[in-house]
Amino acid sequence: MEVRELGHLVLYVRDIERSTRFYRDVLGWRQILPARGVDGELDRKPFAAFNAPSGRTHHELLLIEVGEDAAAQPEGRRVGLYHFGLKIGTTDDELREALAKLEQTGTPVLGMSDHTATHSLYIADPDGNEIELYVDIPGVDWDTPEAIGSPVKPLTL
């Protein structure tokens, strides 16, 4: 077996409408299925599906509502998802545009990092799932370990 690419991500969310607004209106995902349950299946929770504007595949993000009483992700050291990365371009100007959009929508920025090969902003969705918004730095040789293993430095935009 050979994994060819990461196909899609599925997240449990407390409130499907709130999360839909965040992923669609703040991050710009294209909603391809409405925030709804499945007709005639009372045990199915409301869900919404999205793909990136590039339309690379059938869906890249699926949100499933589990309700406001769902347990929060534990803080601190834990096993499981740390964050997922969304490539938003190849220039710091595109990262600055993203930062302006986040500021405009009141989305807190948790951090900014220079990874040598990428520049990144870190945010969280309404349920606390951490997201890295990044740009690839042109001219990086991805075939060298140094491109990925460089020390993380603070980023100033």
Buried b (16+ CB within 10 A) or exposed e, 98-131: bbebbeeeebeeeebbbbbbbbbbbbbbebebbb
Do both 149 and 94 map to the same domain? yes
Q: Could you tell me if residue 24 is inside a domain?
A: yes
Same domain, 143 and 93: yes
Q: Using the Cα atoms of residue 101, residue 102, residue 103 and residue 106 in order, give the sign of their dihedral.
A: positive
For 138: left if phi > 0, alpha if psi spans -120 to 50, otherwise beta; the answer is beta
Instruction: Note whether residue 75 is domain-resident.
Output: no
Query: Does residue 71 sit within a domain?
Result: no
> From CA 117, how far away is CA 147, in angstroms rounded?
5
The tally of domains found in the chain comes to: 2
Residues lower than pLDDT 70 in the chain:
35-44
CATH classification at residue 118: 3.30.720.110
What percentage of the chain exceeds 70 in pLDDT?
94
Determine contact, residues 10/64, Cβ cutoff 8 Å.
yes
Is the distance from CB of 130 to CB of 83 less than 8 angstroms?
yes
pLDDT tens per residue across span 62-96: 999 999 999 988 888 989 899 999 999 999 999 99
Supply the range of the domain harboring residue 50.
Answer: 9-65
Task: Give the ranges where the chain is alpha helix by DSSP (H).
Answer: 16-21, 92-105, 145-149
**pLDDT at 119 (0 to 100):** 96
What was the pLDDT predicted at 144? 78
Asked if residue 100 and residue 149 are part of one domain, the reply reads: yes
